[in-house]
Structure 1
């Protein structure tokens, strides 16, 4: 097998650790298990990530970067802002049907690391803030007169559904999520092509 570069090794460790963290929870996964599953030497892992906190934070940042890349690539074909918002909810609903779904990785991190000063918690909050800002931008473009308020409500719908879907092991919260989001969009956005609600 060809030797990996330092960057390839880092990505490999993050992938293995991320899969374990998501499936089992961060607190339940020790560095020894990551080393074993990644089939790397102790020194190799610790050269990339000096502490478990460093690994957890890097995992979350990497996962969130992947999430944004996927959303932006998918949204590129959407005809307008309203369609981009709907797409976010559709992608989230699809994610709930994936085997092994355990909810939003970012929310899971905030519950495992409740200290707001922890770097992983801070990265999670930064991601959620970014999502809310993205929603607000789309809503403003779609003609919402109070996009920040609507974005906050949509984020509550989005995240609440993910928590319930993971806890209950069913996609029904995803169905409710898309229905509620659509009702809110209908109430807050001008009718397409009319400029008025």
Structure 2
């Protein structure tokens, strides 16, 4: 089996199992079984489980941010782009396999003991915050608004995961709209 194909199969299995069951509940043998990649090959590709977790979070981050940007870029008005973030979150929260934020979940499980996981989580959150900051700048709004929007979005992610509901995105969107209507 080609290394690229084996790597993708292993990452597909890791993502499904880690996100669906939790990272600590899934061993390398389960990844082997779900991916069809031999245990020997799996360890050649990812010598440690931490490296597999890191690769899973990194790949998921790229896809997540790409999907968000594609949705937001469908809007021309800079303020509507900000609100579109919350519309996209609502769609994501409504997906049948939604289990909350993969990075918050990973940090909750391993952030205190795995510097690699903590670094991946911080990088993802910083990238998301940076994206919101660019949207805020494009809308001609004060920089502090990005911090407020970030907290709204993050709170919605955690609440949606716990409550198994897409509604927190709508509530966060309403709050974001109020912040956008506030005097500059």
> Deviation at 1:117?
6.0
For structure 2, list consecutive stretches of 5 or more residues without a partner in the other structure: none
Alignment-derived partner of residue 61 in structure 2: 64
What TM-score results when the alignment is normalised by the length of structure 2?
A: 0.93
Q: Separation in 1 of the partners of 2:13 and 2:66?
A: 20
Match of 2:133 in 1: 136
Q: How big is the shift at 1:175?
A: 2.1
Is there any run of 5+ residues in structure 1 with no aligned partner, and where? 189-196
Q: Greater shift after overlay, 157-166 or 107-116?
A: 107-116
SS in 2 for 1:60: helix
Q: Does 1:38 align with 2:28?
A: no
Matches of 1:77 and 1:174, distance apart in 2: 19
Q: Which residue of 1 aligns with 2:45?
A: 48
**Residues in 1 aligned to 2:169 and 2:70: alpha-carbon distance in whole angstroms:** 22
State the partner residue of 1:169: 164
One of 97, 101, 104 as aligned partner of 1:104: 101
* Distance in 2 between residues matched to 1:116 and 1:185, nearest whole Å: 39
Are the aligned partners of 1:116 and 1:122 in contact in 2 as well (CA < 8 Å)? no
The structure number with the bigger radius of gyration is 1
**Larger RCO: Structure 1 or Structure 2 (Cα < 8 Å, ≥ 6 residues apart)?**
2
CA contact (8 A) 1:20 1:29 kept: yes
> Could you tell me how far apart the structure 2 residues matched to 1:163 and 1:125 are?
16
| Structure 1 residue 186 corresponds to structure 2 residue 181 | yes
Q: How many residues align?
A: 184
Indicate yes or no: 2:96 matched with 1:90.
Answer: no
Note closer, same or farther for the CA distance 1:69–1:170 as it changes in structure 2 (3 Å cut): closer
**RMSD (Å), alpha carbons:** 1.6
Aligned to 2:119: 122
Distance 1:173 1:185 in 2: 18
